[in-house]
Amino acid sequence: MKKLVFAVLFLIFLGGLANAEIIINAQPKKSYNLGDSFLIPVTIKSSSGATKIFSMDLICDGSSINFYKNGISLSAGEEKKLEASLILTKSFIGESRGTCVIKGIFGAEYALTQEFILSDKITLSLEAQELAFKPGETATIKGKAIKENGGGADGFIELKIGNENESGSITQLGTIQNGFFSVDIIIPEDMESKKYLLQLSVYEKEGEEKTNTGFLNSNVEIFQIPTSLEAIIETTPVEPGTNAKIRGVLHDQTGKNIDSTLTVFIKNNQTKLIEQIEKPTNEILEFPIKYNEKPLTWKVEIQSNGLTAETTFLIAEKKDINFSLVNNTLTVTNIGNVFYEDSLTIKIGEEDVFIDVALDVDESKEYKLNAPDGEYEISILKEGEEGKTYRSFLTGRAVSANEKRTTSGIIFSFAWIFVILILLIMAYILFRKSRKKTFFGHMPRFFKKKVQSDLNIPKTSILKKHSLLTSKNKAEVSLSITGNRQNSTVVCLNIKNMEEIEKTKGNAEETLQKIINFTEGRKALTYENQNNLHFILAPIKTRTFKNEVTALHIAQAIKKILTEHNRIFKQKVDFGISMNNGVIIAKPEKDSTKFTSMGNFISSAKKMAGTARQEIFFSTEVKDKLTSEIKAEKVKDQNNVYFIKEVRRYSEENKRFIDRFVKRLEK
């Protein structure tokens, strides 16, 4: 019995001597994704020799999968190096995920690697945090898809805008390359304006089976854009003496109303602008129609957000008269808007008197009522309708009503005839005297004075007398004018060294002429005054009431052109530029446009340009209109005067023109 126990203990001792050591030569990385693979280099060394099976298992959150097994025979002191490959695909590892280790086993000995993460997740991120698009445009959505192992995904992305059961939702497929994706989606033109759910789903594939996946939800906003404008007249025809009710409705891409502002232009039958009013959309504008306005068709034009709508309304025909009785005189006045011709019944006591009334609009006639002396009840009926009743004392032999004839018209006619006769007699006498005189070859005295006065008329050109400056859109000041009231914008160019330019020959005149051509190409009116050139942007010429942006482009172009001129040519131009808003009364004529400046519109522009040095100064009113175009800063020691600190936008058309102009200057 003792021998048996001793033998067992000896065998156990020998087994202990046969122990081997497992050394893992390289540890796994911290994280892996499905589809990755890596090698696990191992060294096995036995101190006493052994022949056993060496295996390696993947253990993840308690579940174990064997992925390597091999028989190894070692003599005493011998070591062997092995490299096991682990391929992280579903076909090899199944559903193993989470925190994992690799266990190497050789007989009773084993070794563990450090823990690592095995994941099938892809993390998504968008390039833009806030996404907003207009209907009808192509929306580009960009972002990154990074796997758990830090590498970029290579697979597919599905993008959806809108909820699952929501009508109008759109989807789009795309690809991911090296972790980056860019997907274009065409937004439908009639897509409703609101915020939508944006769903992104990415995945990689192994064969036909999805492996690594990722999801992201975000928001995308579809803008409300104006697509149609409607002009509505509440009632037509419009009765004279009442209000025409006008309403403008702005619709978006789905037909819903948009809250905005619109400009209403009301024109009479001769398309003359009667009124221009700004009004919120969908709000009724009441425009008064005079009691005597003719029964014609008027036009209404509405503008908003680049859209225009037109409609018309008819002024109804109104045939009406008014009458009053003072003592024995009946006054009848046409208070309608058409010629009145009808019979009027006058009941004096028990007798009826009929008079035929024919009156132009606003015309009045007087009728004397007669009856035997006494007080009478007098009733006046028009077109068979009961009218007013009066009581008055009348005198005469019989009941009658006679139109009063005034002598003023006859006297007035005789007076004119008398004046014309006197003028004819004087002309005849002068003609007879002039024929008797001998002509000595000199001008008549009155013609000399006229020639002299013409010579004294001041020149309007800002350059020397032989200046070649010409203008196609010339503007001239008129102190007395009847025309259209225009909200306008002016660009003033002040030339400070005019005397020096006039004395020397150079290229300044050519440069100024090209500036005039450039501004008039943008429908500006050119007004010259002393050493100032004014370029007036008025709706009568530009056909728009928003001229500030065009004025800014003109001012920037002038500054750039003159700066390049001064760089290239010896003859320099010392200049200042200004912009101002104001009102003019304008009237187009054959060769020019006559205008009168209201307030200090032109004088303020001249003053600002006079103080500006190679800069563009402008008023507060202009600054408020250009907040989206420029960043402005106040000029020191000047009230309500600003200069450009930063240009947010620049006209490509201006840039092309200036580049071409500079090239011509350099040549």
Chain segment 208-242, per-residue pLDDT in tens: 888 899 999 999 999 988 989 999 998 889 999 99
Strand partners, 56: 68, 104
What does the block give as tokens for 221? 């906003």
Q: Do residues 200 and 124 make contact, with C-beta atoms less than 8 angstroms apart?
A: yes
> What's the CA gap between 384 and 381, in Å, rounded?
6
Mean per-residue pLDDT, 9-35: 73
Task: Indicate whether 13 pLDDT > 50.
Answer: no
- State how far the Cα of 215 lies from the Cα of 217, in Å rounded to an integer: 7
pLDDT above 80: residue 19: no
CB atoms near residue 87 (< 10 Å): 12
What does the pLDDT average to over 197-211?
A: 89
Q: How far is CA 108 from CA 50, 104, 111, 534, in A?
A: 11, 11, 10, 102
Q: What percent of the chain has pLDDT over 70?
A: 86
Range with lowest mean pLDDT among 83-87, 154-158, 165-169, 640-644? 165-169
User: What does the alpha-carbon distance between residue 273 and residue 588 come to, in Å, rounded to a whole number?
Assistant: 14
Hey, what are 120's tokens? Answer: 């099938």
Q: What percent of the chain has pLDDT over 90?
A: 42
pLDDT band, residue 244 (cuts 50/70/90) = very high
Residue 5, pLDDT score: 42
The residue among 182, 179, 160, 180 whose CA lies nearest residue 169 is 160
Q: How confident is the model over 409-423, as a mean pLDDT?
A: 72
| Average pLDDT over every residue of 182-188 | 92
DSSP 591: S
**What does the radius of gyration of the chain's CA atoms come to, in whole angstroms?**
49
Report the pLDDT value the prediction gives residue 65, as an integer from 0 to 100. Answer: 92
Instruction: Give the pLDDT score at 46.
Output: 87
What's the CA angle centered on 661, arms 494 and 490, to 5 degrees?
Answer: 35
CA distance 119 to 222: 36
Q: Tokens 């132009």: give the residue.
A: 360
Following DSSP, what letter does each residue of 214-259 receive, concatenated?
Answer: EEEEEEEEEPP-EEEEEEEESSSSBPTTSEEEEEEEEEETTS-B--
Confidence of residue 397 (pLDDT cuts 50, 70, 90): confident
Nearest to 33 by CA among 125, 155, 121: 121
User: What number is the average pLDDT over the span 402-414?
Assistant: 63
Q: In the prediction, which pLDDT does 310 show?
A: 92
The separation between the first and the last C-alpha atoms of the chain, rounded to the nearest angstrom, is 123
pLDDT, residue 113, reads 93
Other CB atoms within a 10 A radius of the CB of residue 269 amount to 14
The sign one gets for the Cα dihedral 637, 642, 648, 650 is negative
**CA torsion sign, 223 to 229 to 235 to 240?**
positive
Confidence category of residue 457, pLDDT binned at 50, 70, 90? very low
Query: How large is the average pLDDT for residues 239-261?
Result: 91
**Please, which pLDDT band fits residue 297 given cuts at 50, 70 and 90?**
very high
pLDDT tens digit string along 521-580?
899 999 998 889 999 999 988 888 889 999 999 999 999 999 999 998 888 999 999 999
Task: Indicate whether 371 pLDDT > 60.
Answer: yes
The mean predicted confidence, pLDDT, of the chain is 84
Give ∠ CA 269-541-525 in degrees, rounded to 5: 145
The yes-or-no verdict on residue 491 having pLDDT over 90 is yes
Predicted confidence (pLDDT) at residue 493 exceeds the cutoff of 50: yes
CA atoms within 13 A on the CB side of 623: 17
How many residues are there in the chain? 667
User: Which strands make up the sheet holding 20-24, listed edge to edge?
Assistant: 20-24, 37-46, 79-87
Closest C-alpha among 560, 559, 467 to residue 506: 467
CA 477 centroid distance within chain: 33
Q: Identify the band that residue 411 occupies on the pLDDT scale cut at 50, 70 and 90.
A: low
Given a cut of 80, is residue 650 above it in pLDDT?
Answer: no
Tell me how far CA of residue 12 lies from CA of 7, 59, 251, 546, in angstroms.
9, 31, 95, 104
More confident residue, 467 or 621: 621
For 8, counting Cβ atoms within 10 Å of its Cβ (0-12 exposed, 13-18 middle, 19+ buried), the class is exposed
Distance (Å, whole) CA 251 – CA 188: 16
Q: Which of 38-47, 171-180, 434-443 has the lowest mean pLDDT?
A: 434-443
Phi first, then psi, for residue 663 (nearest 5°) are -60, -40
Q: Is-contact 361 292, C-beta < 8 A?
A: yes
What are the two backbone dihedrals, phi and then psi, of residue 429, each rounded to the nearest 5 degrees? -65, -45
Average pLDDT over residues 24-52: 91
pLDDT band at 3 (very low <50, low <70, confident <90, very high): very low
User: Stretch 383-403: mean pLDDT, rounded?
Assistant: 80
Answer yes or no: are the C-beta atoms of 113 and 100 closer than 8 Å.
no
Report pLDDT for 599: 85
pLDDT exceeds 60 at position 461: no
pLDDT the model gives residue 263: 93
Q: Check residue 530 and give its pLDDT.
A: 84
Please say whether the beta carbons of 297 and 314 come within 8 A.
yes
Domains of the chain, each with CATH number or no CATH:
20-119 (2.60.40.10), 122-222 (2.60.40.1930), 229-314 (2.60.40.1930), 342-408 (no CATH), 475-666 (3.30.70.1230)
Average pLDDT over residues 494-517: 86
Strand order in the sheet with 195-206: 122-126, 138-147, 180-186, 170-177, 155-161, 195-206, 209-222, 131-133
CA 435 vs. chain centroid, Å, equals 73
Res 266: pLDDT: 92
> Which is it for strands 261-267 and 155-161: parallel, antiparallel or unpaired?
unpaired
Q: Which sign does the torsion angle of CA 385, 388, 391, 395 carry? A: negative
DSSP string, 422-441: HHHHHHHHHHHHHHHSPP-S
d(CA 636, CA 24): 78
Residue corresponding to tokens 């006209």: 651
Residues 103/116, Cβ–Cβ less than 8 Å: no
pTM: 0.47
